[in-house]
Structure 1
């Protein structure tokens, strides 16, 4: 997730938790989880000082330097974008980008040279990207939802979901949202202030089954928050709408390209950024690797946790007044994908990773 996207989800969770607690609906998270995710796993301290330099990211990433922001494409392209870039995803010959201004988020498509498309939308925070990157969806006021496909400038609208305010698009199932002889359409999962819904190209709109809020989805897997309290949250992973496992130790984030693993961030998101990250087995929630904070405080906080490939995760890290993009291996390895650079926390991260 990007920094502001994480903040938006945290605000959504906090608001829903307040409503649930006031209504007496949400039990506090248990002190000790007994689910599979609680089992001890190999751990690596997230101390990213002095790592070796590895290959550059195999996904798109952005960099703000000398007052200018560019997106570095996988093929070596450099696309100029506004400095208030918050999220982006490659699409067609360009990118879908989301920027933050005084009035909230604005979403638009831009070409590889930075030329904007014909339209822009005032939206909620968040882009939902299909598994193979064939479509990107976003949500606006009164539950309105749109998608942009690989043609770049073909925009499709969906039946709105029943929420107030601006929605947050989280997950997109299907690579082509325009139904045809070669496409079955798509479904977009959108969070409102306290509930998650989905809307499909078939015109079907409904509440997300068994989840209060959606946090991730890919293939037949869908994960999200089931209950909230003022001390934490509990989550569940669904496969084909059936609950496969639950946890009160993590909120569920990005699912790996081979569907075998899902990232688990802390169940209670607070402060500048998290210092621990778990890699969970998608099938049963078992923790297969943990990246943990150091007891002496000499470790990093991270943002934008995104799978680079089936065996590696990229994160934007901040430690000792330096920002970097670090490659984390499921085997516990760590290396720089983008070398550290000095920067202040006051201006936010100068490095960002694409949404997947």
Structure 2
């Protein structure tokens, strides 16, 4: 099942990563102090909410783009109720220019292309690794292909830029873009793209610089001065670290990192070990010290949801695609513990791909 594979891959091999462009181009990483290496912990138990999404109230539609597959037809829901027809094998997408950068999954792996607002495909397509990387303001999207090749598409939609490849075998996974304009000019400092190989994380910049991401084995999330990622992986789970300006701020073996909130205050923590159909617990962590601000947990009696595609909608809310009691839905989770439907439940099974997907941010 494509959706469950996406979630498992995100939990074990990382979904997004990054660091500020200035830090990415820095010639050396700062030293790590003893205080920087503290293990994340909270002085008091975090408030918890059981992730039981049955019978929630209906709220507003998602404020981000989302796709829906119904009766063999897939559409992307945009701003103001506009819809764009898309391939049924759609796996990831991000708004770009007047359309979208989309990634589809087929027998030959992932293919990336630009899609116009009317559903018309661009002239070019690329065989790529899984993953789209999107800049903080959404003005650039990057992806990686065979031999670590890296490209970006900017807000004009038809301007494709190529970077020096990163030294990996196979197809890379683009995880973050830092900088909103990857074409260097008198008004732009360019950008840097973070890419995961199977064993290591690298970055490549529009300045032509290629190097390893320091202190992390794989990057998993980043925004502004913050970057987080995996430091070790084993059959028993994983350990991760959150860096600020390339100094280790804190570590944890309880979570892997997902999306950082738009105000940089919180980071989503998925389980440190991915197993089964999908994750059933989600932590909201403070980026500053790793303390757990809110936990969405599974019920002991099993009456709770599995989730996928976790994305910050705004600084106080997270959107997730959920599956529970033979129904798929898009649920809005509040940092305050609130829950409501953003897209009403639809009957389905766990043997098919989810009918809903959320944009990559």
**Shorter-chain-normalised TM-score: which range?**
over 0.9
- Cα RMSD of the aligned pairs, angstroms, is 1.6
User: Contact between 2:128 and 2:145, CA under 8 Å: does it hold in 1?
Assistant: yes
| Aligned partner (choices 100, 124, 144) of residue 129 of structure 2 | 124
**Alignment check: 8 A CA contact 1:39 1:287 kept:** no
- Structure 1, unpaired ranges of 5+: 14-32
- Identify the residue that residue 47 of structure 1 maps to in structure 2: 52
Q: 8 Å contact 1:38–1:287 — kept in the other structure?
A: no
Alpha-carbon spacing, 1:315–1:160, altered in 2? closer, same or farther (3 Å)? same
Deviation at 1:191, TM superposition (A): 0.5
1:265 and 1:221 mapped to 2: Cα distance? 18
User: What SS does the corresponding residue of 1:131 show, helix, strand or coil?
Assistant: coil
1:6 to 2:11 alignment: no
Give me the whole-angstrom Cα distance separating, in 1, the residues matched to 2:268 and 2:144: 24
Match of 2:106 among 91, 101, 104: 101
Once residues 291 and 217 of structure 1 are traced to their aligned partners in structure 2, the CA distance between those partners, rounded to angstroms, is: 22
Find out whether 1:285 has 2:286 as its counterpart: no
For the 8 Å contact 2:86–2:119, the answer to whether it is kept is yes
SS of equivalent to 2:207: coil
CA 1:139–1:3: 2 relative to 1, 3 Å = farther
Displacement of 1:111: 0.6
Give the Cα separation in 1 of the matches to 2:257 and 2:147.
26
Q: Aligned residue pairs: how many?
A: 337
> Structure 2 stretches of 5 or more lacking a match?
15-37
SS in 2 for 1:278: strand
Q: CA deviation at 1:249?
A: 0.4
Contact 2:240 2:251 in 1 (8 A): yes
Q: For 2:181 and 2:254, locate their aligned partners in 1 and report how far apart those are by CA, in whole Å.
A: 35
C-alpha distance in structure 2 between counterparts of 1:127 and 1:233, whole Å: 23
Aligned with residue 316 of structure 2, among 299, 302, 311 = 311
- CA displacement 1:132-182 (0-9 Å, x = unmatched): 101000000000000000000100010000000000011111111011111
Matches of 1:106 and 1:230, distance apart in 2: 31
Partner of 1:192: 197
Q: Secondary structure at the match of 2:7?
A: helix
The 1:5/1:205 distance shift into structure 2, 3 A limit, reads: farther
How far is the alpha carbon of 1:36 from its aligned partner? 2.1
Q: 1:326 aligns with which of 326, 331, 340?
A: 331
Question: CA–CA distance in 1 between the matches of 2:5 and 2:238?
Answer: 20
- 1:197-216 equivalences under 5 Å are 197-216=202-221
Task: Give, in whole Å, the separation in 2 of the partners of 1:10 and 1:220.
Answer: 23
- Confirm whether residue 162 of structure 1 aligns to residue 131 of structure 2: no
Distance (whole Å) between structure 1 residues aligned to residue 114 and residue 39 of structure 2: 45
Measure how far apart 1:35 and its partner are: 2.5
Q: Which residue of structure 2 aligns with residue 152 of structure 1?
A: 157
In the alignment, the residues of structure 2 paired with residue 328 and residue 310 of structure 1 have an alpha-carbon distance, to the nearest angstrom, of 11
CA spacing shift, 1:54–1:11, aligned 2, 3 Å: closer
Higher relative contact order (CA 8 A, sep 6+): 2
**Using the alignment, how far apart are the partners of 1:257 and 1:63 within structure 2?**
25
SS in 1 for 2:321: strand
The answer (yes or no) to whether the contact 2:111–2:127 under 8 Å persists in 1 is yes
Taking structure 1 as the reference length, the TM-score comes to: 0.92
| Residue pair 1:60, 1:74 contacting (<8 A) in 2 also | yes
Question: Does the CA contact (< 8 Å) of 1:172 and 1:217 recur in 2?
Answer: no
> Which residue of 70, 75, 98 maps to 2:75?
70
Superposed CA deviations along residues 229-257 of structure 1, whole A, max 9, x for unmatched, are: 11010001111111111111000000001
Change (3 A) 1:206 1:164: same
Q: Secondary structure of 1:51's match? A: coil
1:4 Cα deviation from its structure 2 partner: 3.8
Deviations along 1:272-321, one digit per CA (max 9) or x if unpaired, are 10000000011111100000000000000000000000000000000000
SS of the equivalent of 2:167 reads: coil
Q: TM-score, normalised by structure 2?
A: 0.91
Query: Is the contact between residue 153 and residue 159 of structure 2 (CA under 8 Å) also seen in structure 1?
Result: yes
- The question of whether the paired residues in 1 share the 8 Å contact of 2:50 and 2:297 is answered with yes
Q: Counterpart of 2:80 in 1: which secondary structure?
A: coil
Does the aligned pair in 2 maintain the 1:37–1:280 contact within 8 Å?
no
